[in-house]
Structure 1
Amino acid sequence: MNILKLKSALVALPLLLGAAAMPASGAEAQAQGPQVSAQPSDAARAQQLSGDIFIRNALATVQALDAGRAAQVYDAGSAALKAVSTRQQFVEAVASTNARTGGVVAREWSRLERVRVAPPAADAAAPAVPEGSYVTVYLLARTARGQAHLEQVSFRLDEDNQWRLAGVTAALPQQQPQQPQG
C-alpha cells in the first residue's frame, strides 16, 4: 500500500465500534467485549489483531457513511484523519461520492494490509503520513448503477493504543460522456 498516495486521495473517516474506537488494551477490551486482546504496552501485539476485526469495522464505517452519518464518523476519527480534512470537507466529500455512485448495494472485502510508517530521519522533512501502525482494508463495492469500485478504509493505532479510522478512499471509475446515438 502506498501510504503517501492514500493520504493525497484521503477522505478521512473514523473507526466505529459502536460509538467508540477499537481499544488495543486488554483491560479496555474486556470491558467492551472480546474484540481485542493486545496489552497497552505491547504495540507489536496490537499490530497483530485479527483481520476480522478490521474487516467488520471497515464495513461498519462505510455503511455509516452510506447512511448519512459522515459527521459522526469524522468525530470518532483519528487525529491523522482530522489533520487532512475539516469536518465540513469530510461530510461534503462523502456526500459527493455517494451522489456519484448512486448508492452501494453490495460490498465484499478483497484484502487487508498492515503497514508500519517509521519516523523520519532527524534531518528529514516531516512525513506526509504520521508515523505509526496502519491497517488498510480493501473493499469491492457494487453500486445501484451496476458499477464496481474499490474502497480503501485505513485505521491507525493512535498514541493512546486505540485503533481509529485514519481515512477512506473510493476509487471511482471515470464517468464517460454519453455519445449521441443515431
Structure 2
Amino acid sequence: MSRSALLASLLVFTAAAGAQQQAAQPARPVAARPAPQQQKLTPEQQAQVTRQDAEITKAAAKVVQLVDTSKTGEVWDGASKVAKNLVNRQTFVSQISADRKKLGAPAERKRVAVTRSAYTAGGQVPAGNYINVVYATKFANAPQPVRELVSFHLDDDKTWRVSGYSLR
C-alpha cells in the first residue's frame, strides 16, 4: 500500500467496546503467512465478539454517513491519535473528497466482513489492535462495486476510534 493510500485510510471515530471484549478476540498475525489455528471460543466469548461486531458496524455506518454527507472533517476530528500522527486534517479531507468526487454518490452499500488484526512496532501500520469493517459499495460513476474500508484502533484509553477510511 502506498504512503498516500495509507494516509488516506487512517482516521478515527469513537466506538463503544470494552477492553475485556478485545482480550477475547483472536488477532491475525502481521506477516503474510497462514494464520495459526484459531482457538475455539467459549459461548461467552462468541457472544462478546457478536456484540462487538454489532457496535463496530454501527460506528462504521456513522463514519460512512459522515463521509457521504461531506462531513469528513468531523471524522478526522474524532480520529485516533494513530491516524492524526500520520495525516493532517486538511490532507485527510481533501484526499477523501477527491476520491469520492471521482466515484460519485453511493448507490448501494453492503457490509461484507468485520476483521481483526494486531500489528507490532516497526511495520508499515502503527502497532496496535485494529478492527476493520469492509463494505462492497456501488457508486454512481463506478461500473463495479468498490471496497470501502473503515478501520478502528484500540487506543490507550481502551476506546475504539476510527483509524482509517479507504476506497479500492
Same fold (TM over 0.5): yes
CA drift of 1:24 comes to 3.5
Task: Give the distance between the partners of 1:88 and 1:66, measured in 2 at CA.
Answer: 17
Task: Give the distance between the partners of 2:134 and 2:106, measured in 1 at CA.
Answer: 15
Q: Which stretches in structure 2 are left out of the alignment for 5+ residues?
A: 27-48
Per the normalisation by structure 1, the TM-score is: 0.69
Find the structure with the greater CA-based Rg. 1
> How many correspondences in the alignment?
142
Q: Which runs of 4+ in 1 moved over 4 A?
A: 45-49
CA drift of 1:112 comes to 1.4
Q: Which stretches in structure 1 are left out of the alignment for 5+ residues?
A: 16-20, 26-37, 120-125, 172-182
Q: Which residue of 2 aligns with 1:134?
A: 130
CA drift of 1:155 comes to 0.4
Residues 86 and 162 (structure 1 numbering): CA distance in 2 closer, same or farther, change over 3 Å?
same
Query: Equivalences for 1:12-91 in 2 at 5 Å?
Result: 12-15=10-13, 21-25=14-18, 38-39=19-20, 43-45=22-24, 48=49, 50-91=52-93
Task: Give the distance between the partners of 1:116 and 1:74, measured in 2 at CA.
Answer: 22
Q: What SS does structure 1 have at the residue aligned with 2:118?
A: strand
1:123-174 Cα offsets, whole Å, 9 max, x none, are xxx3332221101111010112353211111100001101000111100xxx
Task: Give the distance between the partners of 1:115 and 1:82, measured in 2 at CA.
Answer: 20
Give the aligned residue type for 2:155: D
1:105·1:143 contact (CA, 8 Å) conserved in 2? yes
Task: Give the distance between the partners of 1:101 and 1:136, measured in 2 at CA.
Answer: 22
Q: Which residue of 2 aligns with 1:113?
A: 115
1:6·1:169 contact (CA, 8 Å) conserved in 2? no
Give the aligned residue type for 2:17: A
Task: Give the distance between the partners of 2:3 and 2:117, measured in 1 at CA.
Answer: 14
Ranked by relative contact order (alpha carbons within 8 Å, sequence separation 6 or more), the top structure is 2
- Identity across the alignment (%): 27
Give the aligned residue type for 2:71: R
Q: What SS does structure 1 have at the residue aligned with 2:85?
A: helix
Q: What SS does structure 1 have at the residue aligned with 2:70?
A: coil
Give the aligned residue type for 1:113: T
What RMSD over aligned residues (CA atoms) do the two structures have, in Å?
Answer: 2.2
Q: Which residue of 2 aligns with 1:94?
A: 96
Give the aligned residue type for 2:116: R
Task: Give the distance between the partners of 1:23 and 1:109, measured in 2 at CA.
Answer: 19
1:23·1:161 contact (CA, 8 Å) conserved in 2? no
